Amino acid sequence: MNQRRVELILYLVKWTVLASIVGILVGSASAFFLVSLEWATSMQHTYTWLLFLLPFGGALVSYTYWKYGQNASKGNNLIIEQAQGEEESVPFRMAPLVLGGTIITHLFGGSAGREGTAVQMGGAFSELVAKVCKLDKIDRKIILICGISSGFGSVFGTPLAGTIFALEVLAIGMIRHEALFPSFVAACIGNIVTVAWGVGHHPYDIGDVPVFSWLLVMKVVLAAILFGLTSRVFSGLTHWMKRGFVKLFVHPVWRSFVGGVLFVLLTLLIGTRDYTGLGIPLIDQAFDGTVATFAFLMKLFFTALTLGAGYQGGEVTPLFVIGSSLGSTLGSYLDVSIPFLAALGFIGVFCSATSTPIACFIMGIELFGSEAAIYFFLVCIISYVCSGHTGIYTSQQIGVSKR
Amino acid sequence: MNQRRVELILYLVKWTVLASIVGILVGSASAFFLVSLEWATSMQHTYTWLLFLLPFGGALVSYTYWKYGQNASKGNNLIIEQAQGEEESVPFRMAPLVLGGTIITHLFGGSAGREGTAVQMGGAFSELVAKVCKLDKIDRKIILICGISSGFGSVFGTPLAGTIFALEVLAIGMIRHEALFPSFVAACIGNIVTVAWGVGHHPYDIGDVPVFSWLLVMKVVLAAILFGLTSRVFSGLTHWMKRGFVKLFVHPVWRSFVGGVLFVLLTLLIGTRDYTGLGIPLIDQAFDGTVATFAFLMKLFFTALTLGAGYQGGEVTPLFVIGSSLGSTLGSYLDVSIPFLAALGFIGVFCSATSTPIACFIMGIELFGSEAAIYFFLVCIISYVCSGHTGIYTSQQIGVSKR
């Protein structure tokens, strides 16, 4: 056996072991996180007065981050930078901090997501493995990619999308294949472990895919452009609110407190709790066509406010809510199957906000099957091109200009 | 409306038009090519004595290339280099030459494929469009990518795989997204036009996907490693034969003539015509489990001989034959569903030989549906990692090392 073949076998064995360790740790953390999230959501639904504690909960989390967080407050951007090869340390405390912070956001009714939490837990655990195993610079980069892929894959139940997401999110406009195998192993093991802990994922039904026609294609293109523009509004508004809060309040505790008070007042004003929490019920309503016409705008605003005020949690589930609600609304105006456009919005707005078209296309296939594959691709490409070079992750490098 | 938005709309309109033109031209050429190929194949089956003319047919084609071909004899590598940004000219005569040459190969029973022909026709047509429209250097690169994607997408009926193949084949280890939208439009229009000409594509049935088990995963990994090694043998043998023929015979006409004589003698010796032509019947036999145990090795050898001797045609359909036959053979030895492993081999050997894992994964979904998606991904990644940095295209740059 020649040296190259030995090296190949060593590579495969080494990364099967390392990525599996990451997958087991992160998959278990995701399972615990998803169960806690369900608990927090049901508490919030049962004891509606918990909403009034939101400003205090947010202030507490911001205080904890300020006092003990070190650079953990950089969130997803820290993980993305390290997986790009930066050499700042990812403190392990990031995992409990973001987990606790996100649970508090949801317990008290803030509007946020899950992927940020999963990715940050993934990053913290994989950095731990890197330290214990004394990995060199290149391997550390790869194992951080494993952390991202296993976090994403396990929290959404989409290991293939997770694999590609971790590679595609690092730089706009390209996928580098160097960590393809480790990323895949980590995402699959992560997902298998989460499922093995008895934690399932929400199923969605795209319904019958409409018959092909050029009119349908034009409607889908129009919808995709709107998905792209909506994601721009979301990213822009979130960044604008963040900057605004920073300008108005020097101390992060005040930002979260005031943001929380605003959130509570506005929620009372509109008289519905629909825009608190993850918003999964809105996705269901979007798919069966019962969602309110401007639900996507409301969810967009409340999420931007929550995240702008410094609350913990991700952006992705709210992006799913915004996208599927918008798709549902467009479905009735454009006279296209509602669950079909809701599914396209689900992946389109997310794709546009993260600039990860191939990952989102694959996610579409994992969640909704391959019958509408060509439309998934179309929507991902158009919304990707339309979103410009600014998304929700400010640390994304621009690898290749979009056009 | 600000300037950026105007630029975006202009970009979308411009590339919708240009890529559609390429798609219409290349899709029509593919339709004509596929119909001619069917005619040549049926002629070869009806008049079996045509095989004896193979050396003369090959010599004639090689003479024509030598006398009139200019740099067209560089084949796919020329197109790949130009789409990477080189500034050599792609002569339009490449299209009729490769079309005629491939038809002659198949009419007289040589063992070769189709994608090389489709990609080269695509390249020649898109270069023509670039010249007529006086495109600049960057746009020419993009339109050549459109030529590759529309050729690949239309000849196999897999527009999404074609889109990604054209981006992924240029450099090992990465996908650059810059031409994503044009590549997609060209591939889709190409495929739609081919189908509109009444030319259908062969359907394949993967059967029931086996129930998940770790034993199954290990068997699939083993199979994927063998797919990767088989593709290495194929690439190595083809390059070795090419070099050998060049060393033995200075003039290309003699290479093709002697290679053809060898091909005829060996075909008579083994007493079957199974390994002439595209080999689609072998794929059908592979899927229903009736293919001969070592059919993959025979097809591998006869194709390497045909291409090594300088005959025109692609490598991809023979790679499908080799892969599905090998998968079928492994299916009975490993006690795994035969059509399932045949499908995995179909994409695995091709993936490995071209180093395009994401394109092959998507091709698997387009041809066989998404139920086995995770196994497609697994096979593509493993066979990709196992095949090393040398494949069938010597002009591929190494973008990112595989590991």
Confidence band for B358, pLDDT divided at 50, 70 and 90: very high
Tell me the mean pLDDT in the region B104-126.
92
Contact A159 B374 (CB under 8 A): yes
B217 pLDDT above the threshold of 90: yes
What integer best gives the mean pLDDT of chain B?
A: 91
What is the reported pLDDT for A176?
A: 79
d(CA B82, CA B141): 7
Confidence band for B247, pLDDT divided at 50, 70 and 90: very high
Confidence band for B221, pLDDT divided at 50, 70 and 90: very high
What is the reported pLDDT for B87?
A: 82
What is the reported pLDDT for B200?
A: 84
Tell me the mean pLDDT in the region A11-19.
93
Domains in chain A with CATH codes: 3-196 (1.10.3080.10), 214-398 (1.10.3080.10)
Distance, C-alpha B234 to centroid of its chain: 14
Range of lowest pLDDT (A15-24, A82-91, A221-230, B47-56):
A82-91
d(CA A180, CA A236): 32
| Pair of tokens at residue A26 | 């992160």
What is the reported pLDDT for A381?
A: 93
Which is more confident, B80 or B302? B302
A72 pLDDT above the threshold of 70: yes
Confidence band for A403, pLDDT divided at 50, 70 and 90: low
List, as ranges, residues 3-62 from A with C-beta within 8 Å of B: 4, 8, 11-12
Tell me the mean pLDDT in the region B174-193.
90
d(CA A59, CA A253): 5
What is the reported pLDDT for B129?
A: 94
Backbone angles phi, psi at B321, to 5 degrees: -65, -50
User: What is the signed CA dihedral for A309, A314, A316, A317, rounded to 10 degrees?
Assistant: -90
Within 8 A by CB and 6+ apart from A263, the residues are A54, A55, A109, A110, A111, A302, A305, A306, A309
Chain B nearest-CA distance from A393, in A, is 18
B292 pLDDT above the threshold of 60: yes
- Going by C-alpha positions, the residue among A47, A10, A63, A12 that lies closest to residue A257 is A63
Residue B90's alpha-carbon distances to B71, B95, B131, B132, B393, in angstroms, are 8, 10, 10, 14, 17
pLDDT tens readout for residues A208-224: 999 999 999 999 999 99
Which is more confident, B176 or B218? B218
B297 pLDDT above the threshold of 90: yes
d(CA B125, CA A190): 47
Query: Which residue type is seen at B166?
Result: A
A1 pLDDT above the threshold of 60: no
- 8 Å CB contact between B168 and B351: no
Pick the residue of B168, B174, B376, B403 with the most A CBs within 10 A to test the interface with A by mutation: B403
Tell me the mean pLDDT in the region A189-208.
91
List, as ranges, residues 331-390 from B with C-beta within 8 Å of A: 357-358, 365-366, 369-370, 373-374, 377-378, 381-382, 384-386, 388
ipTM: 0.91
pLDDT tens readout for residues A25-59: 999 999 999 999 999 999 999 999 999 999 999 99
B357, closest residue in chain A (CA to CA): A177
pLDDT tens readout for residues B334-344: 999 999 999 99
Confidence band for A383, pLDDT divided at 50, 70 and 90: very high
B296 pLDDT above the threshold of 90: yes
d(CA A397, CA A171): 4
Query: Which residue type is seen at A346?
Result: F
Tell me the mean pLDDT in the region A227-246.
93
